[in-house]
């Protein structure tokens, strides 16, 4: 078992070192395209780290959103803006360096107060979480039933006999009754439903503001070209039809 732990720890260490190296490379690279691709690679390393921590939902989001679509969208944006950054000498003053080190020190000092990773006595594991895990994963979940019917989950029988509420399932008011076994989704969509709703509307308003910003820009550019006499009338009508 200790060999296993050692292996996981060394993999984690390698991932951390690689991600720091890549972060430094991103800062130093003068080509915006390579910086963007490296950002995608950084996200991939973070995905592996989340997987090692057992945070599957976070890993999935990191892979799909950060490594996937945001890299594509950034490259699409770069194809409009041009790929090269104008070289500009960066100079750090003494005060800036001092502030940087003080803030970094304070942040590191702040982490000393946090519980160790995986500590079962940490507040997050003792307050609301057990309740939710029991409500969502325990007892009568469909997934659990499917597994039990295959005879693969011997200990599941004892799980449902611990708590009568779990067996009651559906009748318990406010309970999830085992209908949503993934308690990350349950927390996000039900317990923190307002938060997720406004998250969705933030995404919606991001799209809305892009429409408001880019569409008039296109019209403006078109108008300028028309004044120069580059576009004849037929082509113009075709463009405004969309």
d(CA 23, CA 27): 6
The token pair that represents 19 in the structure block: 């991600």
Radius of gyration of the chain from its Cα atoms, rounded to whole angstroms: 26
Using the rule CB under 8 A, is 65 a contact of another protein? yes
What the block records as the tokens of 166 is: 């779990």
Type and span of the H or E element at 237: helix 233-241
Asked if 176 interacts with another protein (CB under 8 A), we say: yes
Minimum distance from residue 204 beta carbon to another protein (Å): 5
Which tokens go with 190?
């039900």
Contacts of 94 (CB under 8 A, 6+ apart): none
Q: Which stretch binds another protein (CB under 8 A): 1-9, 17-25, 60-68, 153-161?
A: 60-68
Residue 37 CB, nearest distance to another protein (Å)? 16
Between 90 and 173, name the residue whose CB sits nearer to another protein. Answer: 173
The phi and psi torsions of 114 (rounded to 5 degrees) equal: -80, 150
Q: Does 133 bind another protein (CB under 8 A)?
A: no
- Is 174 among the residues that bind another protein (CB under 8 A)? yes
- Region of 8-16, 22-30, 113-121, 166-174 interacting with another protein (CB under 8 A): 166-174
Taking alpha carbons only, the member of 33, 36, 66 closest to residue 48 is 66
Interacting residues toward another protein by CB under 8 A? 56-57, 59-61, 64-65, 68-69, 72-73, 76-77, 79-80, 142-143, 169-182, 184-186, 188-190, 193-194, 196-197, 200-201, 203-204, 206-208, 210-211, 214-215, 217-218, 221
């Amino acid at each position: 078992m200790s060999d296993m732990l050692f292996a996981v720890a060394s993999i984690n260490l390698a991932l951390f070192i690689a991600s720091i190296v890549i972060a430094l490379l991103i800062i130093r690279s003068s080509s915006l395209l390579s910086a963007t691709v490296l950002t995608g690679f950084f996200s991939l390393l973070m995905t592996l780290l989340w997987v090692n921590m057992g945070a599957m939902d976070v890993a999935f989001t990191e892979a799909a959103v950060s490594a996937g679509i945001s890299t594509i969208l950034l490259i699409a944006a770069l194809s409009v803006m041009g790929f090269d950054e104008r070289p500009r000498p960066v100079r750090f003053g003494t005060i800036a360096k001092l502030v940087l080190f003080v803030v970094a020190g304070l942040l590191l000092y702040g982490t000393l107060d946090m519980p160790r990773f995986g500590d079962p006595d940490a507040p997050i594991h003792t307050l609301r979480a057990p309740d939710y895990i029991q409500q969502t994963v325990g007892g009568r979940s469909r997934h659990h039933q499917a597994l039990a019917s295959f005879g693969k989950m011997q200990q599941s029988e004892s799980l449902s006999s611990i708590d009568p509420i779990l067996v009651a399932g559906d009748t318990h008011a406010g309970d999830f009754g085992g209908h949503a076994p993934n308690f990350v989704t349950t927390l996000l969509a039900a317990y923190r439903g307002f938060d997720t709703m406004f998250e969705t509307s933030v995404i919606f308003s991001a799209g809305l503001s892009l429409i408001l910003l880019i569409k008039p820009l296109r019209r403006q550019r078109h108008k300028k070209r028309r004044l120069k006499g580059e576009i004849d009338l037929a082509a113009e009508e075709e463009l405004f039809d969309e």
